[in-house]
Each structure stands twice: as C-alpha cells, then as structure tokens.
Amino acid sequence: MKPCLISGRFPIFGTLALSLLSSAVSSASESSTEAPFVLDPVEIRSPRADGYNNKQSSVATRTNTPLIDTPQSVSVLSRDFLTDTAVTNIGEATRYIPGVGVAQGEGNRDAVVLRGNSSTGDYFVDGLRDDVQYYRDFYNSERLEALKGPAGMIFGRGGPGGVLNRVTKQATPGSPPIYEVSALVGSWDQYRTTFDFNPAFSADAAVRLTGVYEDSGSYRDGVHLQREGLNPTAGFRLGERTLLRAGFEYFHDERVADRGVPSLNGKPFETDASTFFGDPGRSPTDTDVLAFTASLDHAFSHGATLRNSTRYATYDKFYQNVFPGAINPAGTRVAISAYHQATDRENLFNQTDYVVDFSTGPVEHKLLLGLEVGRQETDNFRATGSSTAVGMTSLGSVSSANPRYSGPLFFQQSATDADNHSVAKVAAVYVQDQVQLLPKLQLIAGARFDHFTVDFTNHRTGASLDTTDDLVSPRAGLVYKPVERVSLYTSYTLSYVPRAGEQLASLSATNAALEPEQFENLEIGAKWDLTEKLSFTAAGYQLDSSNQAITNPAAPTTLLLVDGQQVRGLELGAAGHITSRLTLTVGYAYQDGETQSANGAIPAGTRIQQLPRNTFSLWNRYDFTSAWGAGLGVIYRDELFAAADNTVTLPDFVRYDAALFYRLNHHLQAQLNIENLFDTGYYATAHNNNNITPGSPLAIRLGITARF
C-alpha cells in the first residue's frame, strides 16, 4: 500500500483535509460555547518585557498550551537571550539547554546530542521538517525550542532523544513597524550584519524582510566561513477569521570543513588551538537552501481552529575534507585521509491540524485531529581520497610538528562509497485529546499512525530496495496542579527510527527487512511559575532503545536485534526575571547512559560516547540603569568519551563569558561580548577519537543595532 499522493509525487493539500477534519468533529464542536474569536491578536509591548522566560509553546502539543500544562520537558531560548549572548548557531545556543550536548559534526553540519542520542537530522522550522545536514543560522528566528524525549506522536519518525524547532519571524497584519539593522565585528576578522524590515502596510496585509551576511575568519588556521540569507514573508487577513502567510528563504553557507586534532595516549593531542591537521585549502563545504512555506489559519465561529501548512525546500550540499586519523605511539606522525560527499534533497511536506474545545458533561476537552503527507527525494554520492589517479592508495602521514598535507589528491569510489537515490514518502494521521478530568488533574493522550515507505537504489551495485514501515507512536501524560502556578506531571512517549536512518541513506540488503529501532521515554517532572516572569522546571527520565542492529557473532553476514542503550537523567532549569533589573537562564543536567547489549568489541555496560555526566550553564543580565547593563555566563561540561570504545577522554572544562550593554536611546544600542573571558584552554567537541575540536581562545565581539 502506497501513501496517498497525487501522481506519486505531490501530496494532497488543504481541500480534502479541511472537509474530512471538519466533518469528523462537527458533532463535538457544536456542543462548544459560541464565542467571538479574533485570530492572532497583536500584543504591543515594550522591549525585553519577557526577557528569557517563555510561558507558552506549541512545539510539544500542536496546540497553544502553556508550558506549565505540558507533561514533557521543553526548553525555549528567546530572541532576547540569543541577542544578549550574540549566539548565531545551534551548537553554541544548545550549551544553555539542560540535557542537550554538542558534537563536532565533522566540521560541516549541526550535530547535537539529545539525551544521549546523537542527531544531525532532528531539526524543524515552524514545526515542519528541515533535516538535511548543514549549519543553520538564527538571523530569521524568533526563538529556539527544544522538546526533549521521543516525540513520535507530534513529529513522526526520528527524534529519539528530542527535536529542535526554530520559530521564525513572520509578517503579521496590524503589527507595529520594525526597521532594524545590526552590525557585528569580532576577533579573527569576524564581520556580520543582519536586518529586519517590517513596514506598516495595512491592517489586513503585512510584509517583512529579514537577512544576513557574514564573512568571518577563525582562531583555527586556514578556516573561514561566509554565509548569506534572505527571508521575505507576507501575511494577509482574509476576513476576520482567516490569516494567510507565505514566505521564501534563500540561504547559502560556505566554509572550511574543520575536523580538529587527533588523540594520543587517551587524550587530545597537545598542540596550539590554531593548528590544522590536513589541508584547509582542499576541505571546502557549501550548502544552498531554497525553501517556500505557506500556512492558512482559520477560526470557526464555534471556537475551533484549523491550520494547513506547507513547506517545499531544496537542499544542495557538498563537502570535502582532508583530515587526521590516528597518530603513531611516538606522537610524531599522523595518518591523513580524505573524502568528499554530495547530497541533493527535495522535501515537500503538508500538515493539517484541526483543534476544537468541547465538553462531555463536566469534563472539558481540547481535541487535535491531524494529517501529514510528505515526500523526500535524495541523491547521495561519496568518493574517497587517494594519492594516485588509478587505484586506491593511502595518502600516508604527515609530521605532527607540521601537519599540513600537500601531496597529490584524487577522488574515486571505494567498494563501500555511496552512490544512492532514494524516495521516501509518508502519510500520517494523528489524534490527541487534552482532558480536564478534575479541577486539578489534566490528561493528555494521543497516537499517531505513519505509513512510511522508502524506494532505495544503489547505483554503484545496481541493487534496489523497497521498505514499508507502519509506525504507531502513542503518548500519554498526567498533569496535577495542586495550585495554579505549580504542576506535577508524568508521561510516556515513544518514537521510531526506520532502517533508512535519519538521512535516508542507510538501507542495505542486510538490514532492509529489520524492524525500526524503537525509543521509549518515561518521565516525571515539576514546573513552577514562581512569578509571572520567573519559572522553574525539573524532570527525571529513563530513555531506553531497543531493536538495535548488531552483527551476529555466529553468522557475520547477518544482523541481530538487541536492546540498545539506556539513559537516565535529571534536568533542572530556571528562566526569567529575578527582579526588574536582573534576568537569567540557568540549567543543570545529570545524565548516566550505558549500552545494554554487547556489540562487537563494545561490551554491555559501556558508557555512551559524547555524554557528560554533569553539565551546568548560567547566563544572566543585570541592567544598572536604563542605559547600561552587563551580562555574565558560565558553562561547565564534565569529561566525556569521544567514541564508543571509551579509549579517549575529553577533559571537563569551565568557560566564562561576559557582556556589556549600552542603550543610547530607542534607536541606537551597542553591546560588547567576550567569549572565554579567562582564555581557558579546553576541547569543545568531538566526532570520534581523532577528530577533536579545541575550544576558542578569548574572543571579543562588538555589535551595534540601529532601529528607525
């Protein structure tokens, strides 16, 4: 059975979904109280009214639900926070989210570790999938939302440890005008400018344009980046109850793929933080993203709402890297390898959500019914570096005292290099009910059914594979509120990762018939809105994976399914205003993860790589006057293992950051940010035992923002 797609290519858009969903809930919605409804009211408030505290998000439920009523751990980094810290990328931002870590990503992509699960594809934009491997930017983002724990009921396949969702800046009719330009200069020739133009158009129509251009060097020798992005959006009110939004994004990122330094004797090789191993001149990576989005929101007279959202995006990604491998026992010679890889992907997703409030006797409900259809077409090609034009010949090694590789370099396919074409299709339905069982007790329960198919062709071998997975992803949670500002919750969530993997390129004749890997999360937690502007959170969880595929020791050409890993953790957080002058965000996480079954040379009970036991982060801003303010940040990360064999350890570190803010008037303000205030030497990220990135030395950034 194939998912319902028009001509096998384009998904069904809003018309059929509207009629099906409306009729399905018409009897329930008629029992709702008739009330006027104004769609997307515009709130005009002074700058920094909320600071770092966000009380509401739709990322966890697809409904406008206060975070205190959401039975799952959700962290939100606000626009004010991103601005104050001068953070422009996901890697640095997530250091302030408890339970989320940062991996190297081979120097060519965002890579985070969510509750012990490494991810390069669990990224979303306004709730729609954005899963190609590249570096994202915050120039057009209103906030970053992290939903922790499996989220299959909301987002479908993937997301075993959680997902990250960027909420973008949108044009809203009737909103106040914005004319803002920011410029930033910093250490190692960093130059960046952004703009946000939202002119006063009319009460029923709005346009907005955000953009970025950056051309920057690095503390790493030979490393640089250049990026540019442009995102126009428009909004139109089609009557009192209907809002149409549309937008287009062009984004280009090019840089040097930097895979850091190797290791020696169980720790990173000691060298200057700037030393590049390999060849930066022959390690380019570039990405082009073209994306069109549209959404239609309608509020019915009986109070129900309907949203239909579409995202069409093309991704053109290429990277090449000449990088270090193992170092000899004497520490004098470093092996060098190289490869390049190209990925072209075309995504098309359409979602329809119908939300209605109704009552059954004294019990109140918020019912969500949804449909999602999508298609992803992907081409992958990889070739390995060789020192000869014919035959696969090693690049050899270089001196650790002068680790640049300058020898010949040719690329050709090895016996295992990818040359694949895949078409993945999904058709999903989901239902969720938020039930007020008692005045102080709420239930949220739902399930999603995904029909997920992959047609996979290996051009190198001529093999063709077809897989079909029918995935049922339930969720259930209870929220008890002893008082209005305190909630205690417990929840269960589940998600799957099919054998095609998060990048849809992992199918083989050996694993195609295997059941998807499964991830179950049990969680308890508490949330406390101490004041209107200050919130505390706590969560404890156990996350188990099963159906992990390993090589069968008795028959090496076959695979076995075994229990995977187990992670147990505790997350604590607080965000908001302590006083009218002091704003902070603070987080702590304890995470203990280990393998549950032996896998080759990795015995059961081995600690999970890239998972520090303890992390702590703090950022706070104090405004001395209406003109002057200062910020201080602290980041602590415990030691961690770089790879699954637990032979190389990245030491723990503490990093201090600081900022100074000056506001001349409403139209002009400046800020000075200092990263690594005490110039501490540390190792920031790793990909494996021999790809370890040293942290940045002290770095200074000066930014100026003008508003008109």
> How many beta carbons lie within 10 A of that of residue 547, not counting itself?
17
For residues 223 and 207, what is the distance between their CA atoms, to the nearest angstrom? 37
> What is the pLDDT, as a whole number, of residue 671?
98
Phi/psi of residue 90, nearest 5 degrees:
-65, -40
Q: Which residues of 340-354 are buried (b: 16+ CB within 10 A; e: fewer)?
A: bbebbbbbbbbbbbb
Is the pLDDT at 29 greater than 70? The verdict is no
User: Per residue in 287-319, pLDDT tens?
Assistant: 999 999 999 999 998 889 999 999 999 999 999
For residues 424 and 642, what is the distance between their CA atoms, to the nearest angstrom? 32
Please indicate, yes or no, if residue 397 is contained in any of the structural domains: no
Sign, CA dihedral 38-293-50-52, equals: positive
> What is the pLDDT, as a whole number, of residue 667?
96
Residue 57: pLDDT band with limits 50, 70, 90: confident
> What is the pLDDT, as a whole number, of residue 56?
84
Residue 231: pLDDT band with limits 50, 70, 90: very high
Residue 49: pLDDT band with limits 50, 70, 90: low
Q: Tell me the Cα Rg of the chain.
A: 25
How much is the average pLDDT of 421-447?
A: 98
Is the pLDDT at 34 greater than 50? The verdict is no
Is the pLDDT at 577 greater than 80? The verdict is yes
**Predicted structure pTM score:** 0.92
Relative to beta strand 162-168, strand 123-125 is: parallel
Residue 2: pLDDT band with limits 50, 70, 90: very low
Total domain count for the chain? Answer: 1
Report the CATH number that the domain containing residue 701 is assigned in CATH.
Answer: 2.40.170.20
Across the chain, mean pLDDT equals: 92
> What is the pLDDT, as a whole number, of residue 637?
98
Is the pLDDT at 257 greater than 60? The verdict is yes
How much is the average pLDDT of 106-118?
A: 96
> What is the pLDDT, as a whole number, of residue 430?
98
For residues 608 and 594, what is the distance between their CA atoms, to the nearest angstrom? 5
Please indicate, yes or no, if residue 334 is contained in any of the structural domains: no
Q: Which residue has the higher pLDDT, 553 or 451?
A: 451
> What is the pLDDT, as a whole number, of residue 479?
98
How much is the average pLDDT of 654-668?
A: 97
Strand-pair partners of 123:
164
User: Per residue in 672-687, pLDDT tens?
Assistant: 999 999 999 999 999 9
Please indicate, yes or no, if residue 70 is contained in any of the structural domains: yes
Which residue segment(s) compose the domain that 121 sits in?
Answer: 5-265+280-329+344-382+418-707
Please indicate, yes or no, if residue 400 is contained in any of the structural domains: no
> What is the pLDDT, as a whole number, of residue 551?
86
Is the pLDDT at 16 greater than 90? The verdict is no
Is the pLDDT at 210 greater than 50? The verdict is yes
Q: What is the DSSP letter of 328?
A: P
Query: Which of 504-513, 514-523, 576-585, 627-636 is predicted with the least confidence, judged by mean pLDDT?
Result: 504-513
In 361-462, at which residue ranges do the beta strands (DSSP E only) sit?
363-386, 397-399, 410-412, 419-438, 441-458
Please indicate, yes or no, if residue 322 is contained in any of the structural domains: yes
Please indicate, yes or no, if residue 270 is contained in any of the structural domains: no
C-alpha angle 428-434-436 in degrees, rounded to nearest 5: 165
> What is the pLDDT, as a whole number, of residue 679?
98
Please indicate, yes or no, if residue 581 is contained in any of the structural domains: yes
| Nearest Cα to Cα of residue 664 among 705, 630, 621 | 705
Please indicate, yes or no, if residue 394 is contained in any of the structural domains: no
User: Per residue in 606-631, pLDDT tens?
Assistant: 999 999 999 999 999 999 999 999 99
CB 408 within 8 A of CB 383: no
Residue 323: pLDDT band with limits 50, 70, 90: very high
Is the pLDDT at 82 greater than 70? The verdict is yes
Helix (H) or strand (E) segment spanning residue 228: strand 225-237
Q: Which residue has the higher pLDDT, 5 or 116?
A: 116
> What is the pLDDT, as a whole number, of residue 355?
97
> What is the pLDDT, as a whole number, of residue 4?
39
CB 413 within 8 A of CB 391: no
How much is the average pLDDT of 658-675?
A: 97
